[in-house]
Amino acid sequence: MAQQLSWVLGHHAVNAVLEVNPERAVALWVVMNTSNASQQSVVQQVRQLGLPVHSVDKRELSRQSGSEQNQGIALQAKPKQDGGDKELDSFMKKMSDDKTPLLLILDQVQDPHNFGACLRTADAAGADAVVVAKDNASPMTSVVQKVASGAAETMPIFRVTNLARTMEHLQQHGVWMIGTSDKAKHSVYQEDLSGAVAIVMGAEGKGLRSLTEKKCDSLVSIPMAGSVVSSLNVSVATGVCLYEVVRQRTA
């Protein structure tokens, strides 16, 4: 059976594939603009790989890629292979002894825009990996890769069979599970996040599942000072929590 190809859209995402996983690239489709140095650099890289470059107009590129949000450039690529349970265990065992792990665990985050934004923030905050369940989680789509702005290539992603069991295994590696919940008795700013931690975020509108919440070592909330908004989008909340870790570690 022929391997199904995917689309990678936008300059940042395409650049990331060519720089990190060039073996994934199959063909480039581009609305040619010879005065665009960034675009021409990508075109040159693809040609150096011996791969075809298709010069098309905007309408044709949107039709081929299935999206108008492509910035005039789209790469056909082989699917990115995420790690699984065994790969995550090996990843943790290989982590340097002087490294303090920072992980992001997403519990059934299914919206591709939110997943992509979480990947982008995780990369920016220096997280070591993102862990999601195999089921009821956003797959790696062109939308995810576009929103992630390259982080979908650089960030190690592990899709595990049983999230609760994986959390237990990570605890055995010394990682403290910090879950987010509006039922928490103290805020994220009151929690000691300077050690090895995994920030555990729940799904859009639902929060953490009961079993996932029970596996957390501590629950924290994000203070809401407004009179109308009672919760944050999961990707925004992820940013708040990850950067509180960064703040504490660099204070």
Distance in angstroms between the alpha carbons of the first and the last residue of the chain = 54
Residues 10 and 94 in one domain: no
Query: Are the CB atoms for 13 and 19 separated by under 8 Å?
Result: no
Average pLDDT, the chain: 92
Owning domain of residue 20: 6-77
Query: Are the CB atoms for 114 and 234 separated by under 8 Å?
Result: yes
Residues 42 and 159 in one domain: no
Total number of domains in the chain: 2
> Which three-class secondary structure state does DSSP give residue 237?
helix
Instruction: Kindly write down the DSSP assignment for every residue of 180-199, as one continuous string.
Output: E-TT-SSBGGGS--SSSEEE
The CATH number given to whatever domain includes residue 44 is 3.30.1330.30
Interval 127-153 mean pLDDT:
92
Which tokens belong to 143? 């939308």
Tens digit of each residue's pLDDT (9 = 90 or more) over 57-116: 999 999 998 888 888 999 999 988 899 999 999 999 988 777 899 999 999 999 999 999
Query: For the whole prediction, is pTM greater than 0.95?
Result: no
Token look-up 């931690």 returns 197
Cα–Cα distance measured from residue 117 to residue 123, given in angstroms and rounded to the nearest whole number:
10
The CATH number given to whatever domain includes residue 129 is 3.40.1280.10
